Every structure is written in structure tokens, then in C-alpha cells.
Structure 1
Amino acid sequence: MTSAIHRTETGVAGCPFHQAAVSPTGCPVSPEAAAFDPFDAPYQLDPAEALRWAREQQPVFYSPRLGYWVVSRYEDVKAVFRDNLLFSPSIALEKLTPAPPEAMKILESHGYAMRRTMVNEDEPDHMERRRLLMEAFLPEHLEKHEAWVRELVRDYMDRFIDKGHVDLVAEMFREIPMTVALRFLGVPEEDAQELRRFSVAHTLNTWGRPSPAQQLQIAEDVGRFWQSAQAILDRMLAEPTGEGWMYDSIRMHAEHPDIVPESYLRSMMMAILVAAHETTAFATTNAFRTLLSHRESWNDICENPALIPSAIEECLRVAGSVVAWRRIATDDTEVGGEKIPKGGRLLIVQASANQDRRHWENPEAFDIYRHNAAEHLTFGYGAHQCMGKNIARMEMRVILDEFVRRLPHMQLVEDQAFEYLPNISFRGATSLWVEWDPAQNPERRTPSVLENPTHFRIGAPVKDDILRRVVVSEVEREAEAVIRVDLVDPHGRELPDWSPGSHIELVSGEWRRCYSLCGTCGDRSRLSIAILREPEGRGGSVHFHDTLEPGDVLHIAGPKNHFPLDEAVPRYTLIAGGIGITPILAMADRLKALGKPYAFHYCGAGRRTMAFLDRVERDHEAALTLHAGDEGCRLDLPRGLAGLSEGEQVYACGPERMLEALEALAVDWPEGTLHVEHFTARSSILDPEHEHAFDARLADSDLTVRVSNDQTLLEALTAAGVDVPSDCCEGLCGTCEVAVAEGDIDHRDLVLSRAERDANDRMMACCSRAKGKRLVLSL
């Protein structure tokens, strides 16, 4: 993966704008950048939409009003998060609006002495402390909290279950995250009231733009918040035998006072309450508003609560509570093609990155079946990724599970106004009114609704659980041993849009197989796949051929696209072998619609075996060359591809022998010319008797993970609580790619080219291993 960041010399060459305002590099500022104000209504109401223009036109720009470089695209935001040396987090808690002297005097009168915390400290201090204090946040230690959280949720719901209407924020969503945070920290409930009153002041004080008069009241509230937190900590320090994360930290302070000094405890006592309370309260509010505004999605999780984890991740993607974060450049550098000088402040907008079409299929659509929603950046990324992410996930899942059981008929109160705390980083409505008919409460008719609640695995969603129900509408024979299967939504709703190269996973009982989509892009009434009957295969194709009939109810995962078409190149050669016609035909359709020049080679044993042949000849006759083996028209690859023009790209799907021959030819082509999609991995079986264990040291996290001989690297990282995106787990898709800083890699994937393998700087965690005893990963 090419980094989006490069160190550079500060300069002004190539500036595309000619306006009066200039950035710190001397480059003129565009009118859109000059007008950008994060405190204006568009950003406050919908930051992703407010920065759509930036994602498309100017992904990194300087905002004179803010004094920050604004970063809007997914890969750039992720790259900045990853490099916490070049992009220091030291300004993350810096007041956006400087305090007047009068406010500073108020803070001093309360003894306010906020110092560095895990959020805003640099290395090596950050990782030394994080390593000592991380244990309580590991998945295996969070399991014990779930039953108590559920009891708490039920207790709050009991207070209003028969009322028929409630402001969920006031009555529940602000209260539960604070109560959970206090218990996790070990703070007694009787000490909580003062903290509840003043925690919101910290948000406005740090990330808001209060007026001078407002600053005085905020300073008073922040000061009293600080004093309350310190009084609680003093009692803990006097009797450090209790249970909870603050008590763990106090004991670590006794053992390692140089790494966990008392000043750190005092700052964290206040900072972690805000982090655990405000963000989870806002995220829960946003999630319920989003789901209730998409009634079909709400109904789907009422019907199938196993979808709750994926629904929560999609809510965090489209309406996360953490909108943006801040970094400062420690050297001259470049982000997204824009020069950033040393000392340049960056506003990295996760909300915008989470809707970047370069990373997400149909980013504006809310889709609880989205397979990669957990790749959102709401929790941050890299060494500073939110430690409490799995606590927040657990709380939100339990709350939602209780509501879909007890109040599935709940609705948003119509025409209510939503207000937000004016700040640049956190977003959540200050109230959320809902209503329902108490006479329709399920527990009045069926008390057992409270029994057997859904148990959710701690951590990111299990991808195998993210399944959409579909109905077979048509099964038609397209060629010898090939059937086309059309799938529709059981309620007649639109299915997701998809792009050429996309596939779905078709699931029926124990059978789960991947098939490329071959219908018409943009037709959201159905999804079409073609299945080749393979008697010598693993049994899935035979099962589907022998059993599928119209009216059958199945499940699918996706659509997903690991074989995307780059629409920006000048010319294309498309090669389909046998059933490999399915993704290639969709690409040909798209290129024809775009008016792009392309050559189309379709190879098969004979016309009788070649699916969609009538459609291919009808729609692509001018570009088509047929290679039917029984007619003596086999494709001579070296000859057929000898005249590739400059910039031309080759897309191919078909039998392994054909793809291997293409890969051999491509050795002499410019890097990135050939794109292939494999049907299956050459070997997806891990044989412990022939493997050796190795250590994977995570450079960014200063953590060493042991990978046993019967584990994949991906499995070991997941077990250690490290979120690594994954999908196929067969080395076919490239989703689980991780960067390698040291060590020799035993590559076993079908994604990387020979040149990429020779570079020895990345690997697929699902299948590839270490040749030796140790790898160092950039994680």
C-alpha cells in the first residue's frame, strides 16, 4: 500500500488557486477553503456532507478561519493517525478558543492542572503507560461487565416503559454511559452527581468556540469538575484496595511512579470520564436516531438481533460521535499532495473519511449489512486508537438489544428539532424524543420476551453474522452446466447498488460460496449471479444446482468488491475464461457506457459452455474476439497481448492456468498493469505439523503477539484485541494486508505481484507467515 504521506521541503510550486488569502506555505487559498467554518450550520449538522466538496476537489486544504489544515479523505486521515511521530497528538486537548485572563484565573482558583493523558502525549511516554494500563480493556476482561450493563439498562427502561413517550437522552443515554464509566473506573455511585453536572463543560472548553462571557461560566464548571474528580481520586489514593481501572492505575503508580506519576493519575481521572461518557452517550443517541429514521433497518434488527453488532458499526460510520481529531506536524511533510509545514496544525475529519467513495461502496447509503463498516475511523486508528472502543460497543449493543425486544414499535416523535453542542470534534443531539403505544408492549402479552437475551462477542462484529435475507426469483440455464440465479429482497425493497467486479457470498445452511455479480449495474431490483456446476469441486456448486428453485429463501453477504475497475486509464484489455465471464462482462458493460476503448477476449471450451454468449455478442460485438476451443480458436496470450499501448490495463478472470500464464507475461509489464481475480486459493489449509510458531511485534503498539503453529497471524492479532480488517480469509481479497517493518515473509496469498512480494514490506495476515521466528509489523 502506498503511503499518503511524504516528507518534503516547504514550497509553493504548483499552487492551483489565485486568491488573496494564503496558507502558511504561501500557497493561495481557494474560495471554498477560505469560506470553511466548522462552527457554521452545515458542518455542525452534517460534517461529512459539508466536506463533500473537499473530498472531491481539494482533499487537504488550509482553513484561514480555523488556522488548521483540514484532511477529508479516508486514506489520508488513516495515514495521519498511523504516524504519531510525524503527526504528534500533543494538541489533541489544546483549547481551540484561547481563554481570556479572567477565565484562566478562575481555573487557577480551582487548582486546575490538566497535564498529558493518553490522548495527547507523545512517544515513548504514551506506549509505556498504555502498555501498563491496557489490561482491563482487553476483550476477555470486559465480558464480566455485560450482565450488569444489561441489568442497568432494564432498570432505566422500567422507569418509562409504560409512559408511551420519553426523551431518551435525558432519561437514559446520558446516564448509562456515565454510570458504566464510573463503575469501570471504580468510582462509587454517590460521587457521581457532581461529575454528571460538569462533564459537558470540558467539551465546550476544549473543542468549542464560546464567547468571552461564556468562557467564564465554562471555566467555573471545568474548575469544579476538576475539583470533584480530584477529591474522588484523593479518597482512592488513601485506600487503594478497591476494584476498577483507576485503582489498577494507582497500583501501577506505586510500582512504576516514573511511568505513571501522580500528575498523570489526576489528569486521567478527569479525561477518561469525558472520553467514556460523552462519546458513548452521543454515539448511542446518534445510532437510535439513525435507525429509527431508517425504519426498514430497525425492523430487520427487531426480526434478527444478531445483526445488532453490524448495525452499530454502520451507525458509527455514518453518524459517529467523534467527528474530528487534531494533530501537529513535527516536520515539513506532505499529505494528500498538499505541503504541510513543520508546526502545521491538522484537523483530521473522521466523519468525512467515513463517507469517502474511494474506500466505501455507496458511502451515502445507510446499510446495516455493509461487510466492512467496522473499518470506520470513528475510534481513530493506530497506536492512539480508542482504548474504550469495545466498552462502547458492548454498551450500545446491549441497549439496542433491550429496545428491539421491549419496544420494537417505538418511533421518533415527528417534527422535533435537534440541537448539538457547538464544537468541532463531538456530535450528538442534546435530546431525542420517542413515542409508542404502551398497550402494544410485547412483554404485556409475552413476559418471556426478557428471557434469553442476545449475547454479543466482545470486539468487532463477526462477519459471518452479517447476512441479508433474499429470495430466489428466477433460475435459468445460461450454458451447459451454468445457471443464472436472480435474487430479490423478500419485502420488495431495493437491494444495494454495486460496481463492476463485485461479488456476493451466497449462503444456504452449511454452504457458503462467493459468486461475481453479472447483472446490470444500477438495477437495484435484483442481484444476478451465475453458478458453474463443478462435480469435482467442494460441493457448493452441486448443491446450488440441484436444490435452488424460485421462492427459496437464502442469505447473502455483500456486495463486496476486491476486483475494482479503474475508470481513469486510457484503454483496457478484458480477458474472460469460462465462468470468469461474470465480472468481466460487468466491466465491459461499464466501459461501453463510459465510451472507453477496450478489447474483449472471451475464451471457452466451446460455445455450448460459454455463459451469456448471446448477450456478449449483442452488446460487445465491436470489441469482442471469441476463442472457442472446439473451433480451434484458442487465445495465444503472448501474441494477443504483445501490442499493449501505454497506460493500458488488463483485467482477467478465469482458470488458474490462464491466470498463471498472464502473471508470467506481466513480469515485463509496468507495475499495476495486470489485474486478476482468482476463483479459489491454491491452498487455504493450515497444516500445524508443517508450520512453526513465530512472534509478531507490533511496532506502533509496543506489543508482541505469539502466533502458534495452528494459528494464522490474523487469528492471533484478533485474539489480542487488535482490529485488522479481513474478509475472505483465503488470501484472495487483500483486505487483511498489514505493513511489515522487519523480518522475512512467507507469502501465500494471490493478491501481491512478484515485485510487491520481493519488496518484503507487506503481507496478508490471513494466510502468509514468517519465514523465521519473528516479524515486526507496523501496527
Structure 2
Amino acid sequence: MTSEHHAGNLSAAPGCPFHAAPMDAAAKAAPNGCPISARAAAFDPFDDAYQQDPPDYVRWSRDDEPVFFSPRLGYWVVTRYQDIKAIFRDNITFSPSIALEKITPTGPEANAVLASYGYAMNRTLVNEDEPAHMARRRVLMAPFTPEALKEHEPMVRELARAYVDRFIDDGRADLVDQMLWEVPLTVALHFLGVPEEDMQMLRQYSIAHTINTWGRPKPEEQVRVAHAVGNFWQLAGRILDKMRQDPSGPGWMKFGIRMQAECPDVITDSYLHSMMMAVIVAAHETTANATANALKLLLQRPQAWRAVCDDPGLIPNAVEECLRHNGSVPAWRRIATRDVTVGGVDVPAGGKLLIVMASANHDPRHFDDPDRVDLLRENASDHLTFGYGAHQCMGKNLARMEMQVFLEELSRRLPHMRLREQAFSYVPNTSFRGPEHLWVEWDPSRNPEGTDPALLERSTPVRMGETSRHAVSYPVVVESVEPVTADIVRLRLVPPDGRPVPRWQAGAHIDVECGDTGLSRQYSLCGDPADPRRLEIAILRDPASRGGSRWIHTALQPGQRLKIRGPRNHFRFDENDVRQVIFIGGGIGITPLMPMARRARELGLPYVLHYCGRSRDAMGFADELAALHGGRLRLHASDEGGRLDIPALLAAAGPDARIYACGPARMLDALQAGCAGWPDDALRTEHFAAAQGKLDPGQEHGFDVELRDSGISLTVPADSTLLDTLRAANIDVQSDCCEGLCGSCEVAVIEGEIDHRDVVLTRAEREAGDRMMACCSRARGKRLVLAL
């Protein structure tokens, strides 16, 4: 097989969709009989090309040969997103037990050196099989939750500022040497409760541990590395012994010692010793490398760096996009415990797998235009850099917090920073990646704090414990504020840089951050989806407003900037349905129906638009709708005796019609009652407000939740929501309105009966029973199984 083959153009060997039959008798075969292609035979993760750009190095595999055997490594290599996620999801078939095994066996002299130090690295959270793994994870999880991590943020910020102070006036710095190694290491030691030992020594120990476990040290290096690893092991033991004398006070290792007293069979001495050493490496090296990678990526793209400097609100999603595009953990390892098929390729029991998450994070089957850095990417946090499922990195939110703080401090104080001309080098290994040096330069006379001392006191709250999907906000400029009626204004919003607005479809809405009020409100888009220049929304002044509509009506002026999120769409118009379409809008509920009716007109669909209001004066869109839709528009003004007769409308239409409706609850309830016997998909509605009030513990019951992908079981108390319980267990779930209105907290349900309390899902979607809104919906019975 030549290196230029394409799987789709070759006849594959029997039972294998990717590998062609051997070209001759001398062709090598994998352990399952699959031929080994030339590119698979040449694969070398220690090659500098892999270190420089792992996703590009295996692009050929992602495209043509997503599962292949590497004879040089002795591993099956997996490169596509869905295959890797499936491996992470099943930690029984794909055991993590080899994650800390030396990928390059060392010789007898190095092994003797390690033995002389008593080196006995054993199981940790990273390489523990079930059932021991989850038992230990549950006991040790509490300090890693977002709520618990908040107490560390002031210390992280203080350290970051102090280190920037050291070089802010120099005009140049190696950010790795002068900040990005020591600060994460200090934070890691603080989090663990470990006294701050010699930083440079610990850095060398950490590098040695990485080379010993995931690298390919030359024979002459192996003994030196073994001495460093042995010293590291003994240092970890001494620190642990000292902690045991007084395990009170803060720190995760002291917490572990206290938990050992309660669960001696779960948390053993050997386990604590191994964890001490492993976590010192994991808690700082991944963060140091990830931050260096992120800064390099952004500074290589000045427009992206400028966007972050101009808008700190982009930083949380910028962190996720950098972790996706250029993460610090490019690959991890598993071993098959039985014969299994991965991506169509048979892998025998005992087969070792190198799963290249860096490649999965660039898989176009999951990420649009994956090689582009997109700070507004909605699914950036789908990346697999932290793993997935039961063994997902427990320290993921500590890393996120540090990266957000580092990016904010550097972008705020050195927005004019740029990369110096340099060659980037990496420590050769399969699994931890970051530049050894990152030289930057700037003009100290342009430091903004010289003219704005208050800049040093500003900060943006760190966002942890939620995914980025639909959460990233971005700025728009208010192009115009147009009164539609005495109580309705229409806003036209445009990007500040003249770029096109995000694409959207009829029925979509955006979330508007209402200035400094702390409020976020959802408003339907009412303009033309085909207009790439602007977004339009209309807002009714609500006397019962909690502040959102009042702020917009009284404070907004043309030229002001707003922050918005979205567009999102839970009220989607089915353009492929050729049945008669009936649109019914009550009051301001006409807004999401305006682009739907426009689209139906463009497509030539049979439709009618009913617009209901108290009076014609309150129906400010009547004239423009009449101009566009002519005789297809029906106006119903209550003060003229023209109230919509819902029973008559439904009787005339019949159950073959498709109805889209938005408006007051009374109108929607009447429609739902009238359509009760119609097909499930006949009526689609969007509500102004949630039907359910606040949680009443006296009227609720607790229930158990099994998180199938994570291997965790939780109990949701009667006085807590599912969303709160998931967040407390360090499970990333996005949310926004927390009222069942916006749909952002949707989770997939595998088993169990759901008590739906949202106003997002259709009747058919509810009856399917495969999704729920975590912020408000609950279990009807005692148990749910979720795909989390």
C-alpha cells in the first residue's frame, strides 16, 4: 500500500474498512491481520513534526485511516472524535490501567536506580480500574468542585499580578521561564497543601517524570532521568509523612489523609504516595503547557489577541477554543480488555491504544472549519483535551480558572505584547505538550497602567463548571432604537467591526446582557434571516419587569454597545413541511413569527398569519406585515370585537395543519387544549414565561441519578434541582435562564420517567422521554439515567 492511498478508493481487506489487502507477501500485518500502510509504519509520535503540530501530523489518518496499528510504537492509534469519545465512555472495555506505564521500556541499569529509591508508583485516579476507581473518586472529589475552587481564585490572581510586575517594565520576557511554570506550580502546591519547595528542582523532577513515563529517553539519558524520578518519589514520601503528623488545615492531600481515616480500605498509604507525585505533575504541568500554547496561538493571530484584549468577556470561551485547537494533552492511552471493534477495525484483547485527542479536536465531522481559531465557537468545550466520562480530569476547572486569570492579566496589562521571532521546541513525549520557551516583547512606554492606574484593580469573574455552548457573549452596537408603539421599541444591532452577523433561522432568539444590572433576557429575532448586516429584536415595556425591559426602554441609545449571546433556536420553523401553516402571534409574541411568515412566503408555502392584540394602536407591526403578506394577514383587535375564535379556527383548519404560536399563556393554553387530539407535531409554541414557580421542597421528592458516561450516581434532594446537583458533583452543564425557558441546560436521558416542567420541548419531544431541562424538570419516579 502506498502512502498516497485513500480508503474510499481501495478494496479493503476482509472485515476492515480502511486497510487494503497486502501488496506482497513481505507486507507487514497488524496483530489482527490488517495490513500496515506505509504511513502507519512511518508514524512516530516522538518525531519533531508530531511535537510541533499533532493534529496536522495525523491529518492523513483522520481523513483516510482513522484506526491503524503503529509497529514502531506497538499501539493501535485512533484519531477521530466519535471513536475516541466512545473509548473514553467505556472504561471497562478500554481499561486506563496503562496510562502511567512507561511507553518506552527502560534498561536494567535505570530500573536498578529506580529500585534503589524504593520507587513504587502504583494506581492513581488516572490509571485505576473499576470498581476501585469510582469509590476513590467519590471520596476525593469535593475539593475540585467549582464552588470549592472559588476560594483559590484570589490567590491565583495575586500571584499572576506579582509575576507580571517582575517583568512589566522590561519590554521582553520568556513567559514560560518567568511566569507560566512557577505560578501553576505554586498554585498546585497550594491546592495540595504542600510546602513550597525549590521551584527549579520540582520543575526538573516533573520533566523527568514526563520523560520517564511518556517519552523515549536515550540509553545514556535513562539513568539520569531515573535518579530524578527516584528523588521525586522520595520527596513526595517525605512531604506525605510530615502531613500525616498534622493532617488538619487546607489542602487536597491533607483532605485525602483525613478521608483515609474514614475509608482506610479505599484510600491506602500506597495510593496517597502515588497520588502525591502524580498530582504535583498533573496539577501544574498541564496548566503551564496549556497556557503557553494558548498565548502562542492567540499571539500568532493578532486579530484574535486584539479581540480578547478589547473584550475580556471572550476569555472563558477563548480558553476552551485554545484547549481545543492547541491543548496540552495531545494523546492518552488505553488497553482493550476484550476483542473489540473500534471505528470498524477489529482490535484484539490486550491491544494497546494511543488515542490522539488533539486529532479528535480537529475532526471536521464534529467541529466546523476545525483548523480556524474561532473565539465565538459554540461547541468549543466539546473538546476532549480533559478526556470524557468516568476518568475526565478532576482538575479541569482548576486549570480553566488559572488560564482565564492568566489571559486576563496579560491581555489587560500588555495588550501590545507580540511574539518575538523564535523557533519553538518541545520535550519529546506522547502526552504532554507545550513550548519550552515563549519569548514575547512590547514597548514599556505604551503600558496602559502608566496612564490608567485603576486598571490594576479591575477583574472579570472566572466562569467555571459550565460548558461554553451558547454561553459566550460578544459585543454589538445599537444601530437604531425605533419606537413601534408607545410600549414597544425595535432595536437594530450590528457587529462593531463590520463583520457579518451569525447565521440564524426563523424562530431563533438572542440573550441580551442588560448593562450592569446583572440581568440576561431572551428576545426573539424579528428581522430578516437573509440580512447578514444586522439583527433585530423588539421589546415590550413590561410593568412587571424585573429590570430587563425597563433598562432597555430607558437606558439604551443608538451607538451604545451591548453584549449578546446566540442566536439559539428552540422554536424552529420546519421549512420542509408542505402542509398548511398557521402562524398565531399574541401581542409581542408576533416577533418570532415575523421571520417564519417571511420565510413561508419566500418558499411559496400555504400559510396564514394571525396577529392578535388589545387594540390596533398596540399592534405596531400591522402595517409592515400587511405590506408583506397582504390577504394572508388576519388582524384581531380585542377592543373592536375581533378576538380570535380559537375553536372556530381549529375546526376550519383540521389536524392536517401545522400551527406555530407565541403569546400570552391563556392563548397558548387554549390552543393546546384544542389540539389535544391532533398529531404530536401539529402545534409548536413559545412562551413568555415559565409555567412552574420556584421549587417547593414540601411538594417534591428526591430521586437518584446515574450518570452513565461518568460512572457516577447522585441523589437529587427534594430541595435541590438536578442542575445544582450536577454542578456540585463537578459535572459541566450550561445554564442561563434557570426557568425552563431557554433550553440551554438540556441533558440527554437514557432511562426513567421525566416530570417535564419546561416550556421548550414539544409534546412529541416530551413523550419521547430522551431529554430534559436540568434547571427545572425532575424524575416522576425514583431514578433517572443520563448520558453525562
TMscore range, shorter length:
0.7 to 0.9
Give deviations 1:335-362, integer Å, cap 9, x for gaps. 5555544434333333334344554455
In structure 2, the residue corresponding to 1:315 is in which secondary structure? Answer: helix
> What TM-score results when the alignment is normalised by the length of structure 1?
0.79
Q: 1:307·1:465 contact (CA, 8 Å) conserved in 2?
A: no
In structure 2, the residue corresponding to 1:286 is in which secondary structure? Answer: helix
**Residue in structure 2 matching 1:456, options 462, 474, 477:** 462
**CA, structure 1 residues 407+547, in 2 after alignment: closer, same or farther (shift >3 Å)?**
closer
**Residue in structure 1 matching 2:434, options 421, 428, 431:** 428
Amino acid at match of 2:609: G
Q: Which residue matches 1:724? A: 733
Q: Which residue matches 2:691? A: 683
Tell me by how many angstroms 1:381 deviates: 2.3
Q: 2:335·2:350 contact (CA, 8 Å) conserved in 1?
A: yes
CA distance in 1, matches of 2:430, 2:189: 26
Q: Which residue matches 2:565? A: 557
In structure 2, the residue corresponding to 1:605 is in which secondary structure? Answer: strand
In structure 1, the residue corresponding to 2:162 is in which secondary structure? Answer: helix
In structure 1, the residue corresponding to 2:197 is in which secondary structure? Answer: helix
Q: Which residue matches 1:124? A: 131
1:145-294 → structure 2 map (5 Å cutoff): 145-190=152-197, 192-237=199-244, 240=247, 243-294=250-301
Q: 1:371·1:560 contact (CA, 8 Å) conserved in 2?
A: no
1:54-453 → structure 2 map (5 Å cutoff): 60=67, 62-63=69-70, 65-190=72-197, 192-237=199-244, 240=247, 243-336=250-343, 338-360=345-367, 363-413=370-420, 415-453=421-459
- 2:612 matched to 1:603? no
Give deviations 1:719-753, integer Å, cap 9, x for gaps. 44322234565556665343556653212346667
In structure 2, the residue corresponding to 1:397 is in which secondary structure? Answer: helix
> What TM-score results when the alignment is normalised by the length of structure 2?
0.78
**CA, structure 1 residues 582+555, in 2 after alignment: closer, same or farther (shift >3 Å)?**
farther
Amino acid at match of 1:167: D
1:707-718 → structure 2 map (5 Å cutoff): 707-709=717-719, 711-718=720-727
Q: 1:506·1:555 contact (CA, 8 Å) conserved in 2?
A: yes
Give deviations 1:199-228, integer Å, cap 9, x for gaps. 112222222334444444433433333233
Tell me by how many angstroms 1:318 deviates: 2.4
**CA, structure 1 residues 616+429, in 2 after alignment: closer, same or farther (shift >3 Å)?**
farther
In structure 2, the residue corresponding to 1:136 is in which secondary structure? Answer: helix
Q: Which residue matches 1:695? A: 703
Q: 1:209·1:422 contact (CA, 8 Å) conserved in 2?
A: yes
Amino acid at match of 1:706: V
Amino acid at match of 1:310: N
Q: 2:514·2:551 contact (CA, 8 Å) conserved in 1?
A: no
CA distance in 2, matches of 1:28, 1:664: 59
Q: Which residue matches 1:706? A: 716
**CA, structure 1 residues 246+616, in 2 after alignment: closer, same or farther (shift >3 Å)?**
same
Q: Which moved more, 1:216-225 or 1:27-36?
A: 27-36
CA distance in 2, matches of 1:86, 1:660: 49
**CA, structure 1 residues 204+658, in 2 after alignment: closer, same or farther (shift >3 Å)?**
farther
CA distance in 2, matches of 1:720, 1:533: 39
**Which 5+ residue runs of structure 2 have no aligned equivalent?**
1-12, 23-27, 585-590, 612-620, 637-647
Amino acid at match of 2:431: S
1:484-495 → structure 2 map (5 Å cutoff): 486-493=492-499, 495=501
Q: 1:173·1:285 contact (CA, 8 Å) conserved in 2?
A: yes
CA distance in 2, matches of 1:660, 1:15: 53
Give deviations 1:22-43, integer Å, cap 9, x for gaps. 5554455677656654445554
Tell me by how many angstroms 1:718 deviates: 2.0
Q: 1:471·1:489 contact (CA, 8 Å) conserved in 2?
A: yes
**Residue in structure 2 matching 1:512, options 517, 521, 525:** 521
Tell me by how many angstroms 1:638 deviates: 5.2
Q: Which residue matches 1:644? A: none
**CA, structure 1 residues 309+420, in 2 after alignment: closer, same or farther (shift >3 Å)?**
same
CA distance in 2, matches of 1:327, 1:564: 41
Q: 1:42·1:50 contact (CA, 8 Å) conserved in 2?
A: yes
In structure 1, the residue corresponding to 2:169 is in which secondary structure? Answer: coil
Tell me by how many angstroms 1:125 deviates: 0.9
In structure 2, the residue corresponding to 1:158 is in which secondary structure? Answer: helix
Identity across matched positions, percent: 50
**CA, structure 1 residues 502+285, in 2 after alignment: closer, same or farther (shift >3 Å)?**
farther
Amino acid at match of 1:128: A
Count how many residue pairs are aligned between Structure 1 and Structure 2. Answer: 733
Q: Which residue matches 1:8? A: none
In structure 1, the residue corresponding to 2:390 is in which secondary structure? Answer: helix
CA distance in 1, matches of 2:95, 2:706: 19
**CA, structure 1 residues 92+250, in 2 after alignment: closer, same or farther (shift >3 Å)?**
same
Q: Which moved more, 1:432-441 or 1:556-565?
A: 556-565
Give deviations 1:275-314, integer Å, cap 9, x for gaps. 0121010111122223333444444444444443333233
Tell me by how many angstroms 1:421 deviates: 2.2
Tell me by how many angstroms 1:463 deviates: 8.6
Q: 2:15·2:345 contact (CA, 8 Å) conserved in 1?
A: no
Q: Which moved more, 1:730-739 or 1:158-167?
A: 730-739
Give deviations 1:59-114, integer Å, cap 9, x for gaps. 55555554444444444433432332232211212222233334333322332211
Q: Which residue matches 1:468? A: 474
Q: 1:563·1:675 contact (CA, 8 Å) conserved in 2?
A: no
Tell me by how many angstroms 1:412 deviates: 2.0
CA distance in 2, matches of 1:444, 1:474: 36
Tell me by how many angstroms 1:407 deviates: 2.5
Q: 2:317·2:375 contact (CA, 8 Å) conserved in 1?
A: yes
Tell me by how many angstroms 1:494 deviates: 5.3
Q: Which residue matches 1:4? A: none
- 2:58 matched to 1:18? no
**CA, structure 1 residues 441+65, in 2 after alignment: closer, same or farther (shift >3 Å)?**
same
**CA, structure 1 residues 96+750, in 2 after alignment: closer, same or farther (shift >3 Å)?**
farther
Q: Which moved more, 1:527-536 or 1:716-725?
A: 527-536
In structure 1, the residue corresponding to 2:120 is in which secondary structure? Answer: coil
CA distance in 2, matches of 1:363, 1:564: 26
**CA, structure 1 residues 156+259, in 2 after alignment: closer, same or farther (shift >3 Å)?**
same
In structure 1, the residue corresponding to 2:267 is in which secondary structure? Answer: coil
Q: 1:70·1:346 contact (CA, 8 Å) conserved in 2?
A: yes
**CA, structure 1 residues 210+753, in 2 after alignment: closer, same or farther (shift >3 Å)?**
farther
Amino acid at match of 1:688: D
Q: Which residue matches 2:755? A: 746
Tell me by how many angstroms 1:176 deviates: 1.1
In structure 2, the residue corresponding to 1:189 is in which secondary structure? Answer: coil
CA distance in 2, matches of 1:584, 1:336: 41
Q: Which moved more, 1:500-509 or 1:215-224?
A: 500-509
**CA, structure 1 residues 346+438, in 2 after alignment: closer, same or farther (shift >3 Å)?**
same
Q: Which residue matches 1:5? A: none
Tell me by how many angstroms 1:174 deviates: 0.8
Q: 2:583·2:597 contact (CA, 8 Å) conserved in 1?
A: no
